[in-house]
Structures are given as structure tokens and as C-alpha cells.
Structure 1
Amino acid sequence: MALHLTTIFTAALLLLLSPLASSTLLPVTGGEALSPYEILQGYNFPVGLLPRGVLKYDLDESTGCFHAYLNSSCSFGLQGSYQLKYKSTTSGIISENKLKNLSGISVKVLFLWLNIVEVVRDEDELEFSVGITSASFAIDNFYESPQCGRGFDCVNGKVSKLRIKSSFSSI
């Protein structure tokens, strides 16, 4: 698969020199290198859609097909909300404001683990679909990447509560 990199997983975040910079960078045309988080931003997504520690990624610019690789699986809870789990490899198809055919990301709803299959950005909201239902969250929940085992906005070992617009309610 050809590695053409201009942008992946979209959003606007300030994490160019953050702990995320430890991820492997792949060269882009002209010798420049972009992190997977910068690629996300290029497609108008926030960096927080990927957990910290992505080791490498590949993107076929012509199809939008991508893979992101972590050292191992990753899971974390969101206080008063959901639990998320990332497999060591996540994949899908990315385009401006839309991630589809996702695999490798799941959310625990009630007692069931459901695969997140699509993420759509609609202005300042992200809608996550599990196929049979979806939930919307304010985009500012995702301005920083979650840490495996700890989640978002870790302060003194506590995680902030996710601001939910609508929940996975029809399950």
C-alpha cells in the first residue's frame, strides 16, 4: 500500500510539541513529516480521537484508507460515562469531517461492547455511530488525546466527565 500523507483523522489541536510527539513520523512528499495527530487535524478532526502513543500509521491518500498502530490494545473509562477500547491496530476510511468503515475501536454501552463504525463531525459536535444507534459529543471533549488506562484530562488520577450531547439511547 502506497504511503501518501497529507492528512488523516481531522481536527484542530495544539499538540504539536506535546507528549504525542513521541509517535513515529512518516515522511510526506517533500521530506516533511506529519504525526498521525496532525493528519487527523488536516481532515478537520481533533487529535483526541486517537489515544496517546500511536507508534506509526499509514494512509493511502487516493482512497482515504488508513491504519494506526499502537504498541498494544488500549482501554480507559470516562467518568460517569462510557468505557472505550482500542485494539493495537485501528483502521478505516477518512475524508473531510467523516471516518467510516472503522474497525478496532469499541465502546461499552450498558453491558455490551459495541464497535464504533463511523465518526462524523458536524460543526462543533462529533457523532459516533455503532451501527444501530449513535451518540453526539461536544468536540471540545477531544482537544487532547486520552491516555491508555487513564482517559481524558487526567488530573491527580481523576478523569473529567465527558460532555454528552446525546447518548447511545436506543440500545
Structure 2
Amino acid sequence: MSLASISLFLLFFTAAVSANEKPSAYEELQHYDFPIGILPKGVIGYELNPKTGEFSAYLNGSCNFMLSSYELYYKPVIRGVISKGRLRKLSGVSVKVVLLWLNIVEVRRRGDNLQFSVGITSANFPIRSFVECPRCECGQKLLVSSS
């Protein structure tokens, strides 16, 4: 076998392996018109049913970080239903408002903004705030009361 044949074989083999690789959770978000930065760094896996949009994303522990003046908390497992520009039936993501932790139940893309809903109210943030994945302290335990 010549060097050219081996090189050609390796090129086809690499292309075939790449074609079968599962996209990352961040790539899936972009497919649904969301920026990658709505998930923190450190997603270790995910499941997605493309027919129903039901998904689960897995972190290696709990995670918290600041977004503007809000503290966000991610549990090790985040679940919901994703469709183009909409995350609904979310569980596993909370926001601290004043002294209360509220569950974020829905995120919608509205042009150049993301609207985060806790059910009774919502807040808009510019998409540019989510260009990069936030770094957080995964595995940090927080006392969060869920309602």
C-alpha cells in the first residue's frame, strides 16, 4: 500500500468518524437558535429526543454564577423541552430574586433578547450576555429551597 493510499484511507476514516459523532450540547443549543452561554461550561453529557424536544443536560455537580445582578443556580441535571427559540417546562435552573430562589420555567428568544420566565414574571437580557459559557463552581453545594 502506498503512502498516498494510506493517507486517503485515513482521510476517509476520519471523515466517517466525524460524521457519526454526536453534536455537543452547546451545538444543539445553536441548532435551536439559542446562544451557547445559557449553559455553563462543564456539561458532561445530554440526552435529546428530536421528535418531542425533551432533553436532559448533565453537569458534574451543582453550579452557580452571576448574571447582571442576579445569581443563577443550576442543579446537576437540567430538564425541559426545547424547540426553535423556546425552552419550556424547565427544571433544574433557579434565580435568586431579593431573598427568594425562584425556578426558571421558560426561556424564549425574542429577537436580540432572551426572556427568562419564573411563571409570575419575566426578565429580558440581551443575547450578547450569553456569547460565552459562564464559568462557575461546579459541585458547590448551595442551600436552595424549591417551591
Considering the TM-score relative to the shorter chain, is it more than 0.5?
yes
TM-score by length of 2: 0.79
Look up the equivalent residue of 1:40 and give its one-letter code. L
Q: Normalized per residue, which structure has more strand?
A: 2
The match for 1:43 is: 32
TM-score by length of 1: 0.68
In structure 2, list runs of 5 or more residues that go unmatched: 1-18, 139-147
Q: Of 44, 62, 66, which residue of structure 2 is paired with 1:55?
A: 44
The answer as to 2:109 corresponding to 1:134 is no
The match for 1:102 is: 90
In structure 1, list runs of 5 or more residues that go unmatched: 1-29, 151-171
1:33 CA displacement: 2.4
Partners of 1:134 and 1:64 lie apart in 2 by 23
The answer as to 2:134 corresponding to 1:149 is no
Identity of aligned residues (%): 57
Aligned to 1:33, the other structure's residue is in SS state coil
1:77 CA displacement: 2.3
RMSD, matched Cα: 1.3
> How many residue pairs are counted as aligned between the two chains?
120
| 1:117-159 per-position Cα deviation (integer Å, ceiling 9, x unaligned) | 0000011000000000000000000001001139xxxxxxxxx
1:69 CA displacement: 0.2
The match for 1:115 is: 103
Q: Normalized per residue, which structure has more helix?
A: 2
